[in-house]
Each structure stands twice: as structure tokens, then as C-alpha cells.
């Protein structure tokens, strides 16, 4: 099994593809999708902080075929086919899964939009048929120095308000939800229906 092992900073680890496949076989669907989304995101949106990868859904499916499992093959395939590297954070992945489990239409992900000011933004979720923007709102963007980029928490909250007002001024609706809503298909469904999804 030498092809399964890589060396990163002197440590022997399974390849990223194999790790995703292994976790897809045993983790819950939401957790496995979040891992697969994150792995694919490294290819679609490279970062200087993590090693470059060339992982694709086709590559993950090929890796899954190499694994001799008596159970879990259908699970792995389901996770890989649902995975999407455009999901930016675990909260977005969890939201995607629970939107699906709630029987709601799949949103477009990471959609560029212009506000009334002409400024360009990227929104987490977009449902054009409902003219609805969706945003997962974790605390990190307001509290974590990595996301604040030198701003205070107060400035981050204000900047988000300005962004939301600018987008709403284009006659679009917007719904934001926290972790407490994202973790429940039923609560997320009710939240989005209240925001105008039918």
C-alpha cells in the first residue's frame, strides 16, 4: 500500500484522497461532506497556508474504487457526489447538507453579486428563483483575528451591515443563520421558508 502513504513535514500520513474516502465510509453524512468539501476546496481555491492538491470528485471516486469494503461503498459514493469545493467553511457545508435533507432546492454557491453601490461581493448561497441570498453566519468572522484582518469586532459587524444593506438595496432578500439553525434540517427549513422560500 505504498501509494496510500505520503510524507508531510516528515510524518507518514495517508493521502488526502484516501483520508476523505476512509472518513466518508465511517463519519456521519454532514461531517463527511464537510471534510470532502474542504479537501476539494484546496484544489479549487489554493492557499499559501496548505499544500497544493489536485483533488477532484472523479479522483475521489477512483480512490474509492481501490478500497475493498464490504460495507460503506454506497455511503462513500453519496458523499463524494454531493461534495462541492465551493463551500467555503464547515458551516456552509453543514448548511448545504441540511438544505438538501430538508427537501429544499439546492442553492448556487459562492455567487458574485454587485450591490446598489456597484461594489462586488460574493454570497454564500443564492436561490435565483426566490431572489434570495443565504449566508451562514459563524462567530469566527466577527471574533477570530485570522478573519478580522486587523479590524475590530465592532468594525467587522458594521462592515457586514453595510454589505447586507448594499445587497438588499438591489431588491434582493437576504437570510442569515447561525450554527444553531444550520445543524437542524427542520429549523433551517423553517428559517428559509420564513425568508421567502416556497
Which range among 1-5, 60-64, 71-75, 110-114 has the greatest average pLDDT? 110-114
Question: What residues have CB less than 8 Å from 11, skipping those under 6 apart?
Answer: none
Confidence of residue 67 (pLDDT cuts 50, 70, 90): confident
Q: What is the pLDDT of residues 86-110, one digit of tens each?
A: 998 999 999 999 999 999 999 999 9
Across 90-117, b (16+ Cβ under 10 Å) vs e yields bbbbbbbbbbbebebeebebbbeeebee
- What percentage of the chain carries pLDDT values higher than 90? 57
Of 119 and 49, the one with more pLDDT = 119
Name residues whose C-beta falls within 8 Å of residue 79's C-beta, 6 or more positions apart in sequence.
24, 29, 32, 33, 36
Q: Pick the residue with more confidence: 130 or 138?
A: 130
* pLDDT for 43: 78
Angle (nearest 5°) at CA 186 between 182 and 190 = 90
List domains and CATH numbers for the chain: 2-85 (no CATH), 94-194 (3.40.960.10)
The β-bridge partners of 136 are 177
Contact of 113 with 167, CB cutoff 8 Å: yes
Give the pLDDT confidence score for residue 5 in this predicted structure.
Answer: 63
User: 138-182, pLDDT tens digit by residue?
Assistant: 887 788 888 788 888 898 889 899 999 999 999 899 999 999 999
Amino acid at each position: 500500500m505504498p501509494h496510500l502513504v505520503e510524507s508531510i513535514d516528515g510524518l507518514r500520513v495517508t493521502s488526502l484522497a484516501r483520508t476523505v474516502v476512509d472518513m466518508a465510509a465511517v463519519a456521519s453524512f454532514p461531517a463527511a461532506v464537510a471534510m470532502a468539501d474542504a479537501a476539494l476546496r484546496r484544489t479549487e481555491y489554493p492557499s499559501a497556508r496548505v499544500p497544493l492538491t489536485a483533488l477532484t470528485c472523479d479522483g475521489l471516486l477512483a480512490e474509492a474504487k481501490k478500497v475493498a469494503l464490504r460495507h460503506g461503498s454506497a455511503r462513500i459514493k453519496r458523499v463524494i457526489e454531493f461534495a462541492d469545493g465551493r463551500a467555503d467553511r464547515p458551516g456552509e457545508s453543514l448548511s448545504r447538507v441540511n438544505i438538501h435533507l430538508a427537501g429544499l432546492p439546492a442553492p448556487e454557491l459562492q455567487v458574485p453579486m454587485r450591490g446598489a453601490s456597484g461594489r462586488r461581493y460574493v454570497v454564500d448561497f443564492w436561490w435565483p428563483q426566490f431572489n434570495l441570498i443565504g449566508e451562514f453566519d459563524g462567530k469566527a468572522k466577527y471574533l477570530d483575528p485570522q478573519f478580522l484582518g486587523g479590524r475590530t469586532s465592532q468594525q467587522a459587524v458594521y462592515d457586514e451591515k453595510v454589505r447586507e444593506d448594499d445587497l438588499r438595496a438591489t431588491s434582493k432578500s437576504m437570510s442569515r443563520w447561525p450554527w444553531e439553525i444550520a445543524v437542524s434540517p427542520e429549523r433551517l427549513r423553517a428559517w428559509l421558508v420564513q425568508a421567502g422560500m416556497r
